[in-house]
Amino acid sequence: MRRAVDLNFSRTTQVRIRRALAKMLDAYGPQGWWPVWAERRRFANPHGEREQHGYHPEQFALPATRRGRWEVVCGAVLTQNTAWTNVERALGELRKAKLQSPESVLACPVSELSAIIRPAGYFNQKSKYLIQVANWFCDHDVRLCCASASRAVLEQVRPELLRVKGVGPETADSILLYAYHLPSFVVDAYTRRVFGRIGVVDERDSYERIRTLFEAALVLPDAVTTVRHWQEAHALIVEHAKRFHTRGAAENQDFLTGLR
């Protein structure tokens, strides 16, 4: 089924996606996503400006610990409908409260957990989501952290993760791509804006259609390299969108406009 869908995407469209991302990489350099503050001791440059916020450019093996993976999972849930700066504050509050494991979250009264993550917004809702995803994490982390970066593993675990309350496609793919290094491209509102403006996608297209398009355009010969490429690609799209696709941004200076 996936192969049949892929055939609907022209080579020209796929080339434009690759060219746009190459231009972003030239402009912004490696991004080091997903931020993993808990693993700064493993960073090549732990005192760098970006590294102090958890970013780790060109260190694709991270997260390498259970705590790091759980931080990514928490961040993926908390970032729903809010800016990452708010998520950073909420994660900081979780660290202060010593809630840095799924077990500690599960042991925390939901009212207390809601107050702690208040900076991330929708805190009553997200506290319940964190509890649900903590149970999923406890059940699956040991198996997934040792799994190969294969499509077969992804196709098995993704539907299970999507059944967790509060986990939609974007959240699931963020967890699978960044916490477990599985090949699933993350589509967010920024992806729609950046590539909608240059006519590569219709912003009304379904999540799965856009995801399939980008995966077809950006797949590489081996799974490990593909995962790294997709991690960087999503991060570059976010960086570009923050500069040219947010309120008050200088849209007329977007250097991708000429790729139409």
Q: 């102090």: which residue's tokens? A: 52
Separation between Cα atoms, residue 80 and residue 138, nearest integer Å? 22
pLDDT of residue 5: 41
225 with 181: CB under 8 angstroms?
A: no
Q: 């991270």: which residue's tokens? A: 62
Query: What's the Rg (C-alpha) of the chain?
Result: 18
> Is the domain defined by 2-259 classed in CATH 1.10.3720.10?
no
Its pTM stands at 0.94
Q: What is the DSSP string of 183-236?
A: S-----HHHHHHHHHTTSS-TTS-HHHHHHHHHHHH--SSHHHHHHHHHHHHHH
* Residue pLDDT, tens place only, 214-253: 999 999 999 999 999 999 999 999 999 999 988 777 767 8
Whole-angstrom CA distances from 88 to 74, 79, 127 are 11, 9, 16
Phi, psi dihedral angles at 65 (to 5 degrees): -130, 160
* Residue pLDDT, tens place only, 81-103: 999 999 999 999 999 999 999 99
Domain range summary for the chain, segments of one domain joined by +: 2-259
User: pLDDT tens track of the chain, all 260 residues?
Assistant: 343 344 456 889 999 999 999 999 999 999 999 999 999 999 999 999 999 999 999 999 999 999 999 999 999 999 999 999 999 999 999 999 999 999 999 999 999 999 999 999 999 999 999 999 999 999 999 999 999 999 999 999 999 999 999 999 999 999 999 999 999 999 999 999 999 999 999 989 999 999 999 999 999 999 999 999 999 999 999 999 999 988 777 767 889 987 76
Residue 8: closest CA among 233, 203, 205: 205
pLDDT of residue 260: 64
Separation between Cα atoms, residue 197 and residue 201, nearest integer Å? 8
